Structure 1
Amino acid sequence: MGSIKVVGLGPGDFGYITMESWELMQGAENLYLRTAKHPTVPMLAERGISFATYDSFYEEAEDFAHLYQRIADDLIAKAQSGIDIVYAVPGSPMVAEKTVVLLREKAAGLAGRADEVKLDILPGMSFVEVLYGKLGIDPIDGLTIIDAEDFASLPVDMPTGLVVTQVYNRQIASDAKLSLMEVLPDEYPVTYIHKLGMPDESIREIPLYELDRQPDIDYLTSLYIRPYPKKPEFDITPLQDIIKTLREPGGCPWDIAQTHESIRRNLIEETYEVLEAIDLEDYDLLCEELGDLLMQVVFHARMAEEAGEFSMQDVVEGVTEKLVRRHPHVFGDVQAADAGSALISWEAVKKEEKKDRKSLLDGVPKDLPALMAAQKLQGKAAKAGFDWEAPEPVWDKIHEELAELKEAVAEGDAGHIAEELGDVLFTIVNLARFLKADSEMALLGCNQKFRSRFSFVEQKVREQGGSWQDFTLAQLDEYWNEAKRQQGKPIQ
């Protein structure tokens, strides 16, 4: 059997060829070059070195994968016929050289057989070593090297610098650009490298989107892209770990003592604090309050996990699956042209999921704020057809309920008064539905308005240096009207 010795032609300049490689090429009876398109090749010819090349294979191959495979197959076949070969590749045999990878695989597969081939790969200098010096890169920080034809191996998060070799032509440059744009911004700066290590080398920074527009793209073109670490993905584990530690023996006595029931009010309070942050349009506060609310969710999930009921992962997976199910117009084949159609689709799926509900009014939590619950109950009844067709009868109903409230007040029965007052409020919520208003939000807005105006009155009282008892109601009412004027509200 013959043998194959693989040597490197270095990154460009003749002086980068190692002495061992040069001596092997000088004494080789059968020297094969992967390609003659390399700056050192004319210098080999000048020094009387005879060689053959695989350039004709380039013209016949349908793509680079088949090209490299055919070259490796041919070299193995020649060696199996008894020929000793010196095979020279651009750069270093061990850096981004696909034919050498294939040769190693094939030689390993033949080991121990009668037709095995002895393969030796000599160390050589690659363009990467030159690149380190030119760009000031320390490889200890990590470096990824890929062939321009092999972007399937491109890391998603680009944690290290990336060298792209063998950007042969404009088409490959275009393909490389499109692949990189899936990971990087279009204008991300990349280092375009041409004729590295040669007297007329060009190293320049260009925006990624201009990669395939460079005028000098050829077989001596490569790229360097500095690290582009992806932002860490969302991870709730640290919060889960803290809650777990607080609940474990040796943790916080208060946290250990809690149950779902004991902290249910906390969940409600945190929810309203989130709503307040939204109303204030204070996004720093909103971020903080959402964290507090999330902590409550994780706390309940932790207690459930301790009891063997469910885990936080079950919570996340459950809501994820529900969202997919209830959006068949997004994740399925149902069509929804607008928001109204999307809502109809959502309700249809939800109705199918809730077949076990016995009443049309099921699904309204008993602990909802009263106005919100009233509006939801009325909305469910309306979907069944139990509703007025226009707002006019609602106005009449309000007057009717007010009259009944007055009668109850005249009677002096506290229980009856509360009942009739509830009827008035319930009917007003009905009017809100017809007016396309949210009764809960309307009252919240009114509360905020009252808080703001009352704070103004408080400030005026403090400025006068007195106490509330020192002011008449008329004086306080004037301050109130001043607050209304400042808010642009006409005085009635």
Structure 2
Amino acid sequence: MITVVGANILHEFDVSGPIVARTGHVVTSPELRERDISFDHSYDAIFDGPLERALDTVVDDLVERSTQGGLLYLLPGDGVPGDLTVEALSARADITLIPGTLHPGMSGLGRADVVDALEIALAENQGAFGRGLCPIDSTVPRIVTNWYGESVVSLATRRLMLVYNANEAEVRSWESDGRLFIPPVDPLEGPGSVAALEHIVARLRRPDGCPWDREQTRESLLPQFIEELGELGDAIKASDVPNQREELGDVLFHVVVQCQLAAEANDFTFEDVLREITAKLVRRHPHVFGDVQVDTYDDVLATWNRVKAEEKATLGQPENS
């Protein structure tokens, strides 16, 4: 059994058995100093170095140590939600999580608004392939926990600089006691997220918004939508990268405004569209997200068509619809 607890709340129960700390920075806890409590091991060296297998290495080590008896896994601060190592550990071992008192600045925040710096760093470490693994909405207040480790901080800083259009000094200035406290960005001052675009489109459609936008319908915007798709196609064919970026933005605007108009008619929302396409992609790629084995390009197409046919049959639709 592994007991997970924050360093600041150790006073709530007796400490016995080996203690493993996520980071040596927990020694700054007044509780540890007052009770002269030390730990047997920490993972600072892992978070200072290459991160490719950092999470697996930490979890593997904790599981192995727990086979020798009870183990206390010590987190910095209060053991706040969103700790990535704990989430991974819970899938591999029996754990007892001792909840702490949230920092006042975290009052009202949900799980999605509290993110482990390691999660950001691991996603950033994969470059273009990892950006979608840890999406960050800059329009909501956010707390980044476990701001420790040279590699973690470096990679997470790089990602946050991009999301918040900030320089390194600004990102570092948000840090306090091993956490970043990031205020929300006004969508009009720092647009750069889908949420910001949704906000702007909805604002344009409000009664006190833009007269032209308020008068549009899904049908009236269709010619422009088709035109933008054509311009995007031209930019791609011409390998015109700056224009591709601009035209993709125009196309995305039309997707969002079509969803806004549909939501106003109580037909569907942008979130409904996202749910449907993500579910479809997962269903039609069982060789990636499931246990289906494929070896060739033709195998992939056959799997896609088989799943598609099953979907259409379930819905009572013809296969070519």
Q: Which has the higher contact order (CA 8 A, sep 6+)?
A: 2
Q: TM-score, normalised by structure 1?
A: 0.31
Q: TM-score, normalised by structure 2?
A: 0.46
